[in-house]
């Protein structure tokens, strides 16, 4: 048992996105969730699941969190947004975001989209979704160029030979 | 005394490369110190994620930033840390500099641009002056750039066509999208003079370089065929000047009258020195002033060539802004829909009808309007559809449908307005002694203010552009003219002039205060003209190269 906890802790420390954020309600700890779990669900709530899957958008978020050219502030904002979204969900439904029904999740997104941070956060997540849907497949996204085919897009040549991370 | 080199050039872009090309071809030993890497045609791609989303060609702002002191309308100053606010004033750290990434819209300045004060008079709050050279002095060099760097186009007569020593461009104009015919027709109806935009892009195999491949990704991207007239492809790859890459020059040394050496850090932060007979700075406007200000010694306690406290002053950007209109399938027949969606071919149209104009009985210096299709970047185009017509953020299937409809059944034609950014006391470069970059040097401070006159002129021009879009049948027409500075159109800071008390450089672009220091990027420009700067930077640098050749 102890070993399990220990190894889980080690795992949590390895990635910023997988580490827990504390969801607070009325100044007390309500639950702890990982931003990655929340973001995976949010991505499917913000863009059709089939396209998110084809784009491999879940894995792309991990790549963004490790990217040398995404600033620490931007990474922190992505993480904080996941925490605040959960706090909104708890305030309204007494459940963390991932435990809500689809309708409740959409309602929660509507609520936060009327707030300055929430609008900005949803736009940020959408931007990364677009990068995954329409970026070069070299990055492990846009499988079979499905995003480009969707829009009839001819990419510029030459294509990249290695990722810029 | 024995020198390492005859000529040492700091910066390998449009300001430095002509000097390297001319002096090395004349048999002199030349070295170019370039902060970035050497990326050739084989190394570059159209990777939108890397180039446009993650800024792969500019330094990481965490390591190298600017401080921006923005002057607000009430006169107060707001300080922005470029890293914290993601405000990026870098343009391309690589051999050839930002000329690799330009669109290459090439316009010459007009004769009256060289005598703005004499022709248009003073503007209150601005430091407008005449240049100390004339258009006639620079014309042979504009022509030289057409041949050596390679400019394609077609000269058409219009009200503000500048005098030319040759009849036409050496390279025929690039292939054009059929929508240019809609544009020409609209201009005919309106009585405007449509001009095919000259481009620093080869339309045929020439100069030991390949022709344009019409990749549809030109601006912001480095060229993979060599067609674009970057300082690297056109000049540095065509001469035997030595280029030392990943060399960040952090300090100049001098005695009372001459630069004696430059110091640079390599990528391991190891310091090196270079001696030469002549030194040329061309690190792009902001960085050139910063290097001078960071180079203090007993002879120049306020920075190199700065005993009259002129270095950094009268920083210029390009004033104006941009606008656009959308052509939609529902307004077009099938043939026109096909024409609209042709990709790869260039739009290449400009208007200069209002390069000078009268309003309320007053004579104004106006500017240039370039028209172009919205950039092909697919992620950017999709990302601009996040809001519905009511201005509400949308997602899910609603967003999916909107993106699909907009990107597959319509296309945006944009315009860019270029007019003079008037030089003022409030817009200048300084350094921040407390904020250091990764090399331990004080970072450049951009003290920012745009004169209200600039916005007034920009508005006048933008409204003319809107008339064309309306006549063409575009919908969703909008524009934005503001005092926001375009980071890729920067000049001034070391203006040239006859009087050492009010200028840094003499008419040869040599520092008044030093015998062997030249500045050949856009820093020398006391006013900017109403066109993109690159052609003028190239031309002036070729002019200075001839001067150095005679003196060395």
Question: Read out DSSP for B57-108?
Answer: TS--TTTS--EEEEEPTTS-EEEEETTTTT-------BTTGGGGT---B--P
In a domain, A158, yes or no: no
Write the residue in A123, A131, A158 that is nearest to B379 by C-beta.
Answer: A131
Within a domain: A114: yes
- Cα(B278)–Cα(A31) distance, rounded to whole angstroms? 68
B184-195 pLDDT tens trace = 999 999 999 999
Between the CA atoms of A143, A146, A152 and A155, what dihedral angle is there, to the nearest 10 degrees? Answer: -10
pLDDT attached to residue A17: 65
**pLDDT grade for A18, boundaries at 50, 70 and 90:** low
- Count other C-beta atoms under 10 Å from residue B229's C-beta: 32
The Cα of B215 is separated from the nearest Cα of chain A by a number of Å equal to 6
Q: What angle do CA A135, A140, A141 make, to 5 degrees?
A: 40
Q: What is the DSSP string of B485-501?
A: --TTS-EEES-B-S-TT
CB < 8 Å from B in window 31-70 of A: 45-48, 51, 67-70
Distance between CA B178 and CA B338 in Å, rounded? 9
Q: Which residues of A touch B48 (CB under 8 A)?
A: 134-136, 156
3-state helix, strand, coil in chain B (%, to 5): 25, 25, 45
The mean pLDDT value for B264-281 works out to: 98
Neighbours of B467 (CB within 10 A): 14
Over residues B248-272, mean pLDDT: 98
Residue A7 in this model has a pLDDT that exceeds 50: no
Q: Are B349 and B194 in contact (CB under 8 A)?
A: yes
Per-residue pLDDT, A13: 38
Which residue out of A52, A109, A134 would a mutagenesis test of the B interface target, given it has the greatest number of B Cβ atoms within 10 Å?
Answer: A134
> Average pLDDT over chain B, rounded to whole?
97
Mean pLDDT of B88-103: 97
Q: Which helix (H) or strand (E) holds B434?
A: strand B428-436
In contact, B175 and B226? CB cutoff 8 Å = no
First to last CA, chain A: 38
pLDDT at B363 exceeding the cut of 90: yes
CB-based contact B145:B542 (threshold 8 Å): yes
pLDDT given at position A12: 37
Give B395's contacts in chain A (Cβ within 8 Å): 45-47, 109, 122, 126
Confidence band, pLDDT 50/70/90 cuts, at residue B497: very high
Q: Looking at residue A15, what is its pLDDT?
A: 54
Which residues in chain A touch residue B56, judged by CB atoms under 8 angstroms apart? Answer: 69, 164
- CB-nearest partner of A122 from B49, B84, B395: B395
Q: How many domains does chain B have?
A: 1
Average pLDDT estimate for B396-411: 98
* Residue in A closest to B53 by C-alpha: A131
Residue with the two structure tokens 């280029």: B243
Q: How confident is the model at residue B360 (pLDDT cuts 50, 70, 90)?
A: confident
pLDDT of residue A32: 81
According to the model, what pLDDT value does residue A23 have? 84
pLDDT of A9 strictly over 80? no
- Quote the pTM value: 0.96
pLDDT band at A14 (very low <50, low <70, confident <90, very high): very low
- Confidence category of residue B14, pLDDT binned at 50, 70, 90: very high
What is the pLDDT, as a whole number, of residue B347? 96
Domain extent, residue A95, equals 48-153
Percent with pLDDT over 70 in chain A? 89
Predicted confidence (pLDDT) per residue in B145-172, tens digit = 999 999 999 999 999 999 999 999 999 9
Q: Do A152 and B408 touch (CB under 8 A)?
A: yes
CB contact under 8 A, A126 and B399: yes
User: How does residue A27 score in pLDDT terms, banded at 50, 70 and 90?
Assistant: confident
Range of the domain at B39: 5-551
Span B281-307, average pLDDT:
98
Measured between beta carbons, which residues in chain B are less than 8 angstroms from residue A161? 45
Question: Å from A39 to nearest chain B CA?
Answer: 15
Chain A residue with CA closest to B386: the answer is A123
Contact state of B86 with A71 under an 8 Å Cβ cutoff: yes
List the single best residue of A158, A162, A163, A165 to mutate versus B (max B Cβ within 10 A). A158
C-beta of residue B99 within 8 angstroms of C-beta of residue B121:
no
Q: Do A134 and B378 touch (CB under 8 A)?
A: yes
Whether residue B287 has pLDDT greater than 90: yes
pLDDT at A93: 96
A145 touches chain B (CB under 8 A): no
For residue range B112-121, list pLDDT tens digits in order. Answer: 999 999 999 9
Rounded to a whole number of angstroms, the distance from the CA of A4 to the nearest CA of chain B is 38
Tell which of A41, A66, A156 to mutate to test the B interface (max B CBs under 10 Å): A156
Which whole-number Å values give the CA distances from B205 to A29, A122, B106, B201, B210, in the listed order? 69, 48, 19, 11, 5
Give chain A's domain count: 1
> Do residue B56 and residue A161 have CB atoms under 8 angstroms apart?
no
Of the candidate ranges A23-27, B152-156, B284-288, B528-532, the one whose mean pLDDT is the lowest: A23-27
pLDDT digits (tens, 9 = 90+) for A83-137: 999 999 999 999 999 999 999 999 999 999 999 999 999 999 999 999 999 999 9
Contact list in A for residue B399 (CB cut-off 8 A) is 46-47, 126
Closest CA to B505 of B252, B306, B317: B306
d(CA B229, CA B99): 8
What pLDDT shows up at residue B67?
98
Say how many CA atoms lie within 13 Å of B517 toward its Cβ.
26
Query: What mean pLDDT is reported for chain A?
Result: 89
Banded pLDDT at B508 (limits 50, 70, 90): very high
């Amino acid at each position: 048992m102890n070993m399990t906890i220990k190894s889980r802790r080690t795992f949590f420390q390895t990635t910023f996105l997988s580490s827990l954020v504390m969801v607070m309600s009325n100044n007390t700890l309500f639950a702890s969730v990982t931003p990655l779990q929340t973001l995976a669900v949010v991505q499917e709530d913000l863009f059709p699941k089939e396209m998110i899957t084809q784009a491999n958008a879940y894995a792309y978020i991990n790549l963004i969190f490790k990217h040398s050219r995404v600033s620490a502030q931007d990474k922190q904002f992505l993480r904080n947004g996941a925490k605040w979204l959960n706090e909104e969900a708890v305030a309204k439904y007494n459940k963390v975001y991932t435990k809500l029904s689809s309708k409740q999740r959409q309602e929660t997104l509507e609520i936060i989209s009327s707030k300055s941070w929430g609008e900005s956060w949803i736009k940020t997540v959408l931007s990364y979704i677009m990068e995954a849907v329409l970026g070069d497949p070299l990055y492990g996204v846009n499988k079979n160029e499905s995003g480009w085919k969707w829009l009839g897009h001819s990419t510029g040549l030459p294509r990249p030979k290695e990722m810029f991370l | 005394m024995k020198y390492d080199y005859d000529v040492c050039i700091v910066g390998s872009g449009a300001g430095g490369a002509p000097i390297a090309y001319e002096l090395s071809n004349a048999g002199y030993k030349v070295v170019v110190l370039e902060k970035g890497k050497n990326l050739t045609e084989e190394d570059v791609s159209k990777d939108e994620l890397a180039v446009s989303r993650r800024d792969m060609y500019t330094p990481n702002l965490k390591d190298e930033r600017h401080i921006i002191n923005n002057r607000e309308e009430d006169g107060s100053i707001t300080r922005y840390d470029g890293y914290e606010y993601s405000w990026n004033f870098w343009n391309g750290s690589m051999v050839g500099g930002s000329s690799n990434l330009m669109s290459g819209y090439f316009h010459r300045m007009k004769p009256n641009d060289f005598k703005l004060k004499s022709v248009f008079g003073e503007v209150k709050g601005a430091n407008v002056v005449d240049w100390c050279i004339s258009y006639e002095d620079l014309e042979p060099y504009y022509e030289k750039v057409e041949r050596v760097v390679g400019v394609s186009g077609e000269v058409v007569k219009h009200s503000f066509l500048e005098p030319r020593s040759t009849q036409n461009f050496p390279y025929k104009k690039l292939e054009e999208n059929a929508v240019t015919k809609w544009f020409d027709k609209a201009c005919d109806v309106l009585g405007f003079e449509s001009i095919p935009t000259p481009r620093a892009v080869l339309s045929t195999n020439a100069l030991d370089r390949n022709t344009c491949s019409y990749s549809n990704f030109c601006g912001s991207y480095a060229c993979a065929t060599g067609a674009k007239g970057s300082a690297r492809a056109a000049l540095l790859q065509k001469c035997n000047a030595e280029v030392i890459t990943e060399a960040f020059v952090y300090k100049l040394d001098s005695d009372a009258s001459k630069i004696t050496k430059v110091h640079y850090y390599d990528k391991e932060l190891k310091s090196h020195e270079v001696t030469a007979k002549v030194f040329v700075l061309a690190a792009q406007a902001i960085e050139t002033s910063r290097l001078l200000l960071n180079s203090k010694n007993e002879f120049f306690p306020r920075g190199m060539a700065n005993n009259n406290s002129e270095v950094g002053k009268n920083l210029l950007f390009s004033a104006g802004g941009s606008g656009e209109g959308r052509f939609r399938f529902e307004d077009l027949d099938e043939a026109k829909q096909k024409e609209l969606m042709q990709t790869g071919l260039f739009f290449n149209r400009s208007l200069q009808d209002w390069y000078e104009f009268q309003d309320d009985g007053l004579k104004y210096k106006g500017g240039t309007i370039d028209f172009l299709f919205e950039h092909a970047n697919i992620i950017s185009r999709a990302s601009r559809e996040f809001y519905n017509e009511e201005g509400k953020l949308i997602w899910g299937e609603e967003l999916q449908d909107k993106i699909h409809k907009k990107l597959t059944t319509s296309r945006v034609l944009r315009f860019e307005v270029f007019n003079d950014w008037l030089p003022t006391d409030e817009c200048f470069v300084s350094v921040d002694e407390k904020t250091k970059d990764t090399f331990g040097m004080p970072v450049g401070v951009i003290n920012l203010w745009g004169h209200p006159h600039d916005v007034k002129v920009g508005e006048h021009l933008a409204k003319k552009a809107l008339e064309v879009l309306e006549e063409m049948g575009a919908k969703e027409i909008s524009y934005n003219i503001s005092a926001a500075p375009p980071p890729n159109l920067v000049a001034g800071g070391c203006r040239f002039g006859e009087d050492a008390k009010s200028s840094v450089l003499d008419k040869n672009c040599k520092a008044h205060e030093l015998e062997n220091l030249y500045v050949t990027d856009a820093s020398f420009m006391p006013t900017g003209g109403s066109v993109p700067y690159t052609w003028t930077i190239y031309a002036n640098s070729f002019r200075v190269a001839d001067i150095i050749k005679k003196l060395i």
